[in-house]
Amino acid sequence: MIRLHSRRFAVAALLGLTLLSGVVHGYLDGRWTIGTDKQAVGDQLHDLPETLGDWTLVESGNLEENALQMLRCYGSFLNVYRHNDTKALVNVAVMYGPRGPIAVHTPEVCYSSQGTDLVRERRVETISVENQENRFWSVEFVRDNDPSSAFEVWYGWSDGGSWVAAENPRYWMTDDLYKIQLSGPASKTSFSACKSFLTALLPHLEQHIK
């Protein structure tokens, strides 16, 4: 009888641990969250002007359907802007969705499968806008081992406040996250296309995130 009782206790404990691990994983992945109309919040991302300082919108769109399904976005956009003086182009994507999927997909992982090589490890970049300090990761890639093809990718996350170059955004204590990721030509002079564009974008974008 004692042995049977011990076995039942062991099985119950195992089931309890399994359920607990499932709940924890679901929380980290953003599955066990119930909110208001998050689609309406996500739709606000599109309310941006076509001109942002010295940058002009030249193409607007959205992520591919498979990417939207993978990230489970409530809202997103994928736009191309051109600098009026240098003619530099930046591609910028902003996404809003459950913490888990939004957190785990980084450029180092995504670009490595697209024929590019990482030539500079990520570092933190700081942009101060309207007395708010924002931090982003930046990395540099080249295509087909061609130095002339070098480009930078900047990215970071936000829960509605400052943008953060988070080490482990999946463990952020919030249900949902915003992510911004943009690519532009690598800086060869004092002018950084990515930094210039983000400085122009952030004051407008922060009016539409919660």
User: pLDDT tens across 115-130, in order?
Assistant: 788 898 899 999 998 8
Tell me which residue range forms the domain holding 4.
1-32
179 pLDDT band, cuts 50/70/90, is very high
80 pLDDT band, cuts 50/70/90, is very high
190 domain-assigned: yes
In a shared domain, residues 40 and 28: no
188 domain-assigned: yes
Mean pLDDT of the chain: 79
In a shared domain, residues 89 and 145: yes
Has this prediction a pTM greater than 0.85?
A: no
Short-list 152, 102, 156, CA closest to 133 = 156
89-103, 165-179, 196-210: which has the minimum mean pLDDT?
Answer: 165-179
In a shared domain, residues 9 and 111: no
12 domain-assigned: yes
Q: Looking at the predicted structure, is the pLDDT value of residue 13 above 50?
A: no
162 domain-assigned: yes
Express as a percent the part of the chain with pLDDT over 70: 76
In a shared domain, residues 21 and 89: no
Short-list 99, 90, 93, CA closest to 45 = 93
pLDDT score for 36: 55
In a shared domain, residues 51 and 3: no
CA pair distance 136, 134, nearest whole angstrom: 7
In a shared domain, residues 88 and 23: no
Domain count across the chain: 2
